[in-house]
Chains A and B, each alone.
Chain A
Amino acid sequence: MRIGLLTEGGYPYVTGEARLWCDRLVRGLEQHAFDVFALSRSARQEEQGWIELPPQVHRVRTAPLWTAEDDGVVYGRRGRRRFAQHFGELATAICSAGDQADRFAYALYGLADLARDEGGLPVALRSELAVRTLERACRAPGALRTGRQARVPDLLAVAGLLERALRPLSLDWYEDADGCLGAVDLCHAASGGTAALPGLLAQHFSGVPLLVTEYGVPLRAHYLGVSGELSAPARALLASFHGRLATEVYRQATLVTPGNTHARRWQERCGADRAKLRTVYPGMAAARFADVGESGVLDDADTLVWVGRIEPAKDLIALLHAFAEVRKQEPGARLRIIGAPAEGPDAAAYLAHCRALAAQLFPDEADGAHAVGANPVSFDEIGGPEVSELADAYASGGIVVLSSVVEGFPISLVEAMFCGRATVSTDVGAVVEIIGGTGLVVPPRNPRALADSCVALLRDPERRARLGAAARARAMELFTVEQNIEAFRSIYLEIVSHCPVRRDAVDAAGAPLPFAHPAESHVPGRWAARAATAADVPSRVANGPNWGANRPSWGANRPSWVVNAADRVEPVELAEPVELAEPVGSGKAEA
């Protein structure tokens, strides 16, 4: 089966985002043929080249997002009218409040048709006509309150950024010929937003089913980063555009696979149908932690370990204060902080600050009067003399602590679970979802709760071992590369079996072959009746399939078959919590 992998600033490029995941996916699913369609973000990214591609990648097509090609097409009267109509609809959809999904879709596909028929879209999107249309839409009654204040520079900036965002519309990827998106059986977008736009168009032009995987949320990233330097009206309009684009992507996608519950919540918020969502956790290489995880031997059972990149969001100061509390109750405890500072002077200053605080809070200690002392808190870097590789970092302690106040999907926690270590974490980001009852969770910014949990684990080796084993079992089930690949393997098969691309059969000369597909294959309806129907009307089931009684399963935006499968994707239910002792935050600080 031929998969079209859509990336934006990602996979084949050396500096791409999520290239590791894509690489593992492509290598893991070697029975499929992959065509990679990559959008590059900058000239520098293109210069740095690709990573090595496995043989199952048959073709790589790239297109720059950072520059527009002027194809010299200037619309005639008809083209201009078509453009004005569709761009007007797009502008209205962007500038208006309320549900504009249908209008947005109509405008988007209208512009795509225009770009495919005549070209010239980049020039037209920057033309005076586009700016004027945008202005009119902003000033129309019912427009967004913030957008109404847009001035001329805002309109120009929005028109320019819209042109940039819509550049995939002008690509020549959407033919049915070999090597184009029309020829693949399934489009898999490695991220939402711009990367999924070619997938939307492939579905529009050729009916190719679309699968969207989102480990981050592009819309959220847009709010936080991209539009920082724009004025408020321009930001409002662009945020509206990206929100409506995300909605359209979720609406048209056959399945959407968020990487964690956080992404899933944003997708639901943007209008994704719950029935389409399947959480597929990112996979991590577990092999390098196998020795540590399976040995079960604890050398330094009284040592707490913190692993990560040192930056203010990790709140090491709270950790040090918590450790001071721990030392009062367990004087033999030690703390190892392992990691390098993040980039930037801020992080380096923070590390220096933490070192100073540790030196002030904890005086050096020695075994006897004639021994050289050492501080109970040590700072190491991976690759240093004490810790040669990552697995050693986790092996060097009995309890792994995570003290962040802000966190996304903390990889260090998953690694600690792979190593079979009991963990104490703050309740931030996806921590609860990852840990799922196999470790202790305390509220953030609460050193005393952190300390109490650590002490509880330090004093109870049996519980520690139990939690560690449970954590390792959970991680091996949910967060390995194999489960990730296996999940996508079955999702691919599921999509292709339920929503195959309907292509007209042609013979060797390219002439259409009539009657190549049997007529039955086009009959809408369910071949297998549902259990409920079987219970209600047993006689009909006995007589054969339920012809036409139900709505067609592939004609609708929301295929009915996914409804049945919705329940089993809840991550909480996948987990089998060995220890349900600590519900979040309870009993520790707020009781």
Chain B
Amino acid sequence: MNTNPAGGATTSDAPSTPLSPGAWDTRSDEALTEPVKAPGTPKASQASPASRAAGRRAGADPVKALMHRYQALCARAVDPLDIAAGLEAHGMTDRTAARFRHRDVFSLAEEMYARVPRDSAPQADAPSPASAGAPASAGSAASAALPGGWAALALVPGAVCALAVTLVPLTSGQARISAALVAALAVAGALRMVLRYGPLRAVGRTVPVTRLWVCWLLGYALLGDGLLRAALAGGAEGPWPTRPAAVLGLALAVGPAVWCARLFSAQAGRRLAVSRGLEDFAAAVWPLLIGVFLLFLAALTGLLLLTGHLLGDGAGAAGAGAGTGAGGAGGALAAAGALGALLLLARLLTVYGFPGIPAAVLGGACAAQALALAAAFAGHLPGCGFIAAPVDAAVRAWGAPVVPAVACGAAALALLAYAARTLTRASAHARPETTR
């Protein structure tokens, strides 16, 4: 029920502890040194200093002096009621307002609001400190919530995967399968940690089925090409050649992906703070989005080339016997690159609150790959050879990686178009406020 005197409006007039070092101030001096007045004439003795003070200080325009006293309050007021609330928080009542020849505090506040000098030109250009530091932008919100060492944490999946790729071939037989399973679980765990604590953390709604699609896509990148070739050649027996270089490259690319996401959110937050309007913001963000995306693609390509070179992926592809050496290597690179781009875009969209479309597109890519495999197998059924014919022709012409390259590439392009439309909205970069 009591008023809150703090009020946010700070003026020199707010009641507060005196700033002088001792407990002694001028009033204390007066109280002791002033001669005792005759008790009979208090009125006469008080009237004169009061009127003298009024005459000296207020002059003809008492409101002007008042405005000077409450300068900060007047400057930040957004309407007359704002000033009225601030004045009341400083103890102004209607009876005090009567001294300024006003009926009540409201009409006094109205006069003060009307008389505040306004110079809108400089305010319109310089971003106000409050809006520049507003916690509305995703960048600042993300940086506030990021745990230390997120940048280094992003390298863990790559390291785990490299270890697995080194160690698993050393085993053999039954042990190899167990080792591969353990390795897959370790990489998945590391990836989950990165996605939970880094800039790629999704605070809003997620679609759980996305995980299944991602597992399928990664599994296909590892095994799919060999399986498809085997299926087209006549049987799915035996260990198919795997493509660990692609998976290792993708795992290593988690680092650049996290850094790029951070770069995007920070830069978008900065552009958000200085944008005048929504159109300005959209115009400023879409080049940023494309730039960050290309940056990631470049890093991913470099990593894929590096892992391919180290693990001899080209030899593996040639060993599988399609006879399209250079084309196969290029195709594999394209397939892995498209998959990486697809995964990054899907995650970015989920992080910014658009999980639905990415899940559908990922599912579509999976379906395309599964369809190609199914067609290859179905071709062996009697009388159904025509089903496998298109896949067979494509694989003969461009190599087995053409299937994931086309599926993931098309999906990534679709998501890129979607991201260019949604991630350039300002509302995507507003964070729901944290629950208090």
Contact = CB atoms under 8 A, between A and B. Distances in A.
B17 to A, nearest CB: 5
Interface stretch (B62-70, B131-139, B245-253, B310-318): B131-139
Interface stretch (A63-71, A296-304, A390-398, A504-512): A63-71
Interface stretch (B211-219, B234-242, B275-283, B286-294): B275-283
A151 B276 contact: yes
Interface stretch (A86-94, A220-228, A461-469): A220-228
Interface string B341-357: 00000000000000000
A483 B43 CA distance: 41
B50 A231 contact: no
Question: Which of B78, B123, B276, B277 has the most C-beta atoms of chain A within 10 angstroms of its own C-beta?
Answer: B78
Contacts of A311: 5
Interface in B274-330: 274-278, 280-281
Interface stretch (B18-26, B182-190, B370-378, B403-411): B18-26
B86 A224 contact: yes
A574 interface: no
Contact of B275 (A70, A151, A346, A584): A151
Given A128-B426, A231-B134, A317-B27, A239 B88 contact: no
Interface of A is mostly: helix
A94 B133 CA distance: 25
Contacts of B91: 313, 404-407, 428-429, 444
Interface string A301-326: 00000000001110101000100110
Interface in A230-254: 230-232, 234-236, 239-240, 243
Nearest to B106: A269
B17 A406 contact: no
Contact of B1 (A139, A149, A215): A215
B147 interface: no
Contact of A357 (B28, B46, B274, B281): B28
Nearest to B18: A353
A24 interface: no
A135 interface: yes
A483 B356 CA distance: 59
B137 A236 contact: no
Contacts of A353: 17-18, 23
Interface in B383-400: none
Contacts of B426: 128, 131, 152, 155-156
A380 interface: no
Given A151-B127, A353-B18, A232 B427 contact: no
Contacts of B94: 265
A132 B278 contact: yes
A427 B47 contact: no
Contact of A160 (B14, B24, B432): B432
Question: Which of B5, B274, B425 has the most C-beta atoms of chain A within 10 angstroms of its own C-beta?
Answer: B5
B7 interface: yes
B123 A149 contact: yes
A428 B106 CA distance: 16
Interface in B417-436: 425-430, 432-433, 435-436
A589 interface: yes
Nearest to A145: B120
Given A151-B131, A223-B86, A236 B4 contact: no
Contact of B131 (A154, A164, A228, A427): A154
Contact of B136 (A132, A160, A328): A160
A159 interface: yes
Interface stretch (A105-113, A447-455, A492-500): A447-455
B180 interface: no
A405 B272 contact: no
Given A67-B435, A128-B427, A153-B137, A587 B1 contact: no
A410 B2 contact: yes
B82 A239 contact: yes
Contacts of A240: 79
Given A131-B278, A356-B22, A409-B1, A224 B8 contact: yes
A171 interface: no
A350 B19 CA distance: 10
A476 interface: no
21 contacts: A126-B427, A135-B278, A151-B273, A151-B275, A153-B131, A153-B136, A153-B137, A155-B426, A159-B427, A160-B430, A164-B433, A223-B81, A228-B8, A243-B81, A312-B5, A312-B15, A329-B36, A357-B24, A406-B91, A585-B95, A588-B46
Closest 10 pairs (CB-CB, A-B): A356-B23, A231-B130, A236-B78, A223-B85, A408-B3, A408-B2, A156-B430, A357-B23, A153-B134, A312-B15
Given A221-B4, A406-B90, 20 more contacts: A127-B427, A128-B427, A132-B278, A139-B277, A152-B277, A156-B426, A156-B429, A156-B430, A225-B4, A230-B134, A232-B128, A236-B78, A265-B106, A313-B5, A315-B15, A328-B36, A406-B5, A427-B95, A455-B39, A587-B43
Interface of A: 41-44, 66-68, 70, 72, 126-128, 130-132, 135, 139, 145-146, 149, 151-157, 159-160, 164, 215-216, 219-221, 223-225, 228-232, 234-236, 239-240, 243, 259, 262, 265, 269, 282, 311-313, 315, 317, 321, 324-325, 328-329, 346, 349-350, 353-354, 356-357, 359-361, 404-411, 427-429, 432, 444, 447-449, 452, 455, 584-585, 587-591
